[in-house]
C-alpha cells in the first residue's frame, strides 16, 4: 500500500525541485520565475524503502477573485483533499514571510496532517529561518535542501509514520509487481496507452482533458498558455489503462522568446517522443494552419500514431466547408500518412469525445500491428510484378526479401540488390501498398533497405 503527499507553499520556495528530487526524474519545469507550476502534477516518489505518491502544486497566492492565481489556488485545494498529508514548504533563507503565516493559518483550518519543511538550509544559510519556522505552530520543522538532497533522512523519519505498509505487506506487493510486469511484457494491451494531447496555445487542450476525465483536473481559462508543464494523469477508459498527458501549447520558433516558454516547448516535445498516440487539437473555426501541420509532421517523424481532434466544432458555421478545407490540407501537406482520423468535437460541451477515444484506440491497434513474413513476401512478389523496380547502371534492381523488424511504428526491412539505387518514388509506392493492403492508416511506416540476399534462405552448395 502507498500514501499520498501534497507539496504546498508560496511561489518559488522549491516545491518543483523537491518533486523532481523525490520522483527521480525531471518531471516538473524549474525556473527562478515565481509561479512556474500552475497545474497539480502527480508522480511516484520514494525515499529509501518508503514509497508514496507525490503531488506538486501551484504556489499559494491569497487572490480571492476569479483570476488565474485564484484558480491555481483552487487546484491546490483539490490536491489537499486527495492527499493523506501535506508538506508545507518555506524558504528558510528568506525566513517566515507574511504569506507563509497566512497559509499556515489556512492549513490549521484543515484536518490534514502537516509536515513543515524548511528548504534551502544548505551550508547553514537558512538557520535563522529554521528557528523562525517554529512560530507557524506546525510542529518541528525539517531542515532540508531540495537542490542538494540534504535532509532526506529527516524527511524520511517525518513521513514514515504515515506509511500503511508493513514489512510483510511490502514483500507481498513486490512479488505481485514482478508478476504483473511479466504479464505486461507478454501483451502490449496490458500496458497503459501513452496518449499525448498537443496543439497550438488556446485551442482547448486542457478543457478537452477535463471533459475526458470528467473533472476539473487541469487549470483552464481564457488566457493563452496557461499550461506550462506536461501533466501526466493515470486514467482508465472502458477497462483500458491510459496515461494521459496534457501539454503546453506549441508556438512557432520565431515566437518563442522567453526562457520559460522554451522550457515548456521542450517539455512538450519530450511528451511527443514518449507517447504512443498523439491527439493534435485544432481550433475548428481556424482550420488546419501551418503551425498545426508542423506539429503533425513532428509527430510522424517521431514515429507516433496521429489523430486530429477538431475542437470547438459547435462554433463553426459552415461545417462542410471547414471539413473540406482540413481534408484537402491533409492530402496535400501530409501525404506521407494517409488516413489520419479527423474527429469533430467540443471539449467545452463534451461532444464527440467517445468518437475521439474510439479513433485513438483504433490507431493504437494499427500502430502495434504485425504482418506475417510469408504474407509479406507474397505481397512483395505481386507488387514487383505489377510495377517492376527500375534499372540502375544497366541492370534491374532485384527486391529479394522483406520482413517486419518491429511494430510501434510498423518497420520493415527490404533486402535488395542495390539498396542505394532504389528511388524514393518506388519506396513510396511500397509504403502506399503496405498501407492499403495490410491496413496501416494514420501511422508512419518505415522501410529500411539493405543490400544482400535473403538472410533466411538456406545456402546452396
Rounded to 5 degrees, φ, ψ at 400 are -95, -35
Both 49 and 145 in one domain: the answer is yes
Sign of CA dihedral 151, 154, 158, 159: positive
Q: Is the pLDDT of residue 277 over 80?
A: yes
Both 363 and 410 in one domain: the answer is no
Both 400 and 362 in one domain: the answer is no
Cell of 281: 487539437
Q: Which residue in 71, 9, 62, 59 sits closest to 33, CA to CA?
A: 59
| Cβ-based burial of 146 (10 A; exposed 0-12, middle 13-18, buried ≥19) | buried
Both 16 and 119 in one domain: the answer is yes
Does residue 162 fall inside a structural domain?
yes
Separation between Cα atoms, residue 143 and residue 91, nearest integer Å:
10
Both 155 and 304 in one domain: the answer is no
Q: Indicate which CATH number applies to the domain containing 257.
A: 3.40.50.300
Cα 414 to Cα 128, 191, 376, 404, 406: the distances in Å are 69, 30, 11, 9, 13
* Angle at 233 (CA atoms; ends 267, 277), nearest 5 degrees: 65
Sheet containing strand 193-199, strands side by side? 231-237, 240-246, 193-199, 277-283, 305-311, 342-344
Instruction: Check: CB of residue 277 under 8 Å from CB of residue 194.
Output: yes
Separation between Cα atoms, residue 41 and residue 143, nearest integer Å:
24
Q: Is the pLDDT of residue 375 over 80?
A: yes
Both 349 and 277 in one domain: the answer is yes
Provide the β-strand partners of residue 246: 197, 231
Angle of helix 424-438 versus helix 373-386 axis, rounded to 10: 130
Q: Indicate which CATH number applies to the domain containing 429.
A: 3.30.300.20
Separation between Cα atoms, residue 58 and residue 173, nearest integer Å:
32
Give the highest mean pLDDT range of 78-87, 217-226, 271-280: 271-280
Cell of 131: 528557528
Q: Is the pLDDT of residue 197 over 50?
A: yes
321-348: pLDDT as tens digits = 999 999 999 999 998 888 999 999 998 8
pLDDT at 227: 45
- Find the mean pLDDT for residues 389-416: 90
Residue 21: helix, strand or coil by DSSP? Answer: helix
| Cβ-based burial of 226 (10 A; exposed 0-12, middle 13-18, buried ≥19) | buried
Cα 313 to Cα 249, 281, 293, 295, 359: the distances in Å are 19, 11, 19, 20, 17
63-74: pLDDT as tens digits = 555 544 554 556
Both 157 and 11 in one domain: the answer is yes
Separation between Cα atoms, residue 134 and residue 116, nearest integer Å:
9
pLDDT classification of 127: cutoffs 50, 70, 90 = confident
Cell of 9: 507553499
Both 230 and 379 in one domain: the answer is no
**Residue 452: alpha-carbon gap to chain centroid:** 40
227-242: pLDDT as tens digits = 445 577 888 998 899 9
Both 311 and 351 in one domain: the answer is yes
Domain boundary among 169, 201, 218: 169
pLDDT at 184: 35
Does residue 180 fall inside a structural domain?
no
pLDDT at 178: 39
Separation between Cα atoms, residue 389 and residue 391, nearest integer Å:
7
Separation between Cα atoms, residue 22 and residue 311, nearest integer Å:
37
What is the chain's mean pLDDT, rounded? 80
Transcribe 194-215 into DSSP letters: EEEEEESTTSSHHHHHHHHHTS
Report field, pTM of the whole predicted structure over 0.95: no
- Find the mean pLDDT for residues 345-359: 94
Domain boundary among 119, 135, 169: 169
Cα 371 to Cα 2, 348, 407: the distances in Å are 42, 40, 9
Residue 9 CB neighbour total at 10 angstroms: 25
What percent of the chain is predicted at pLDDT more than 90?
37
pLDDT at 74: 62
Both 263 and 380 in one domain: the answer is no
Both 268 and 341 in one domain: the answer is yes
Domain boundary among 123, 143, 169: 169
Provide the β-strand partners of residue 447: 412
Q: Which are the contacts of 20, defined by CB distance < 8 A and separation ≥ 6?
A: 26, 27, 28, 30
Q: Which are the contacts of 138, defined by CB distance < 8 A and separation ≥ 6?
A: 88, 104, 107, 114, 116
Separation between Cα atoms, residue 414 and residue 377, nearest integer Å:
10
Provide the β-strand partners of residue 242: 193, 235
Domain region containing 382 = 373-451
Cell of 361: 484506440
Amino acid at each position: 500500500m502507498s500514501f499520498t503527499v501534497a507539496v504546498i507553499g508560496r511561489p518559488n520556495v522549491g516545491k518543483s525541485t523537491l518533486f523532481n528530487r523525490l520522483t527521480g526524474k525531471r518531471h516538473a519545469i524549474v525556473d527562478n520565475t515565481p509561479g512556474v507550476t500552475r497545474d497539480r502534477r502527480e508522480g511516484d516518489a520514494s525515499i529509501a524503502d518508503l514509497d508514496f505518491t507525490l503531488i506538486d502544486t501551484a504556489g499559494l497566492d491569497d487572490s480571492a477573485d476569479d483570476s488565474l492565481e485564484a484558480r491555481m489556488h483552487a487546484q491546490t485545494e483539490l490536491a489537499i483533499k486527495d492527499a493523506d498529508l501535506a508538506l508545507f514548504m518555506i524558504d528558510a533563507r528568506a525566513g517566515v514571510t507574511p504569506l507563509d503565516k497566512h497559509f499556515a493559518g489556512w492549513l490549521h483550518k484543515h484536518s490534514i496532517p502537516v509536515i513543515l519543511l524548511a528548504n534551502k538550509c544548505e551550508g547553514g544559510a537558512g538557520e535563522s529561518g529554521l528557528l523562525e519556522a517554529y512560530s507557524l505552530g506546525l510542529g518541528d520543522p525539517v531542515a532540508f535542501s531540495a537542490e542538494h538532497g540534504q535532509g532526506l533522512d529527516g524527511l524520511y523519519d517525518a513521513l514514515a509514520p504515515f506509511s500503511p505498509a508493513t514489512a510483510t505487506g511490502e514483500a507481498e506487493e513486490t512479488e505481485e509487481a514482478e508478476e504483473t510486469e511479466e504479464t505486461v511484457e507478454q501483451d502490449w494491451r496490458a500496458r497503459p496507452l501513452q496518449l499525448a494531447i498537443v496543439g497550438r496555445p488556446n485551442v482547448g487542450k486542457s478543457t478537452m482533458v477535463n471533459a475526458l476525465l470528467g473533472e476539473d483536473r487541469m487549470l483552464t481559462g481564457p488566457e493563452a498558455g496557461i499550461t506550462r508543464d506536461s501533466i501526466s494523469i493515470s486514467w482508465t477508459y472502458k477497462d483500458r489503462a491510459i496515461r494521459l498527458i496534457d501539454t503546453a501549447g506549441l508556438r512557432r520558433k520565431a515566437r518563442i522568446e522567453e526562457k520559460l516558454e522554451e522550457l515548456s516547448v521542450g517539455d512538450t516535445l519530450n511528451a511527443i517522443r514518449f507517447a504512443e498516440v498523439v491527439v493534435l487539437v485544432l481550433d475548428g473555426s481556424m482550420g488546419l494552419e501551418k503551425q498545426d501541420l508542423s506539429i503533425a509532421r513532428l509527430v510522424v517523424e517521431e514515429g507516433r500514431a496521429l489523430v486530429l481532434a477538431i475542437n470547438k466544432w459547435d462554433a463553426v458555421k459552415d461545417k462542410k466547408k471547414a471539413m473540406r478545407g482540413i481534408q484537402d490540407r491533409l492530402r496535400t501537406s501530409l501525404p506521407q500518412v494517409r488516413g489520419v482520423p479527423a474527429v469533430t468535437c467540443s471539449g467545452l460541451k463534451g461532444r464527440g469525445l467517445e468518437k475521439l477515444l474510439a479513433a485513438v484506440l483504433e490507431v493504437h491497434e494499427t500502430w502495434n500491428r504485425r504482418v506475417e513474413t510469408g504474407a509479406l513476401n507474397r505481397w512483395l512478389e505481386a507488387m514487383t510484378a505489377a510495377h517492376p523496380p527500375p534499372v540502375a547502371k544497366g541492370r534491374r534492381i532485384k527486391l529479394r526479401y522483406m520482413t517486419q523488424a518491429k511494430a510501434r511504428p510498423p518497420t520493415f526491412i527490404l533486402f535488395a540488390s542495390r539498396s542505394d539505387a532504389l528511388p524514393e518514388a518506388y519506396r513510396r509506392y511500397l509504403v502506399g501498398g503496405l498501407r492499403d493492403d495490410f491496413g496501416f492508416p494514420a501511422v508512419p511506416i518505415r522501410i529500411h533497405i539493405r543490400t544482400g540476399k535473403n538472410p533466411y534462405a538456406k545456402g546452396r552448395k
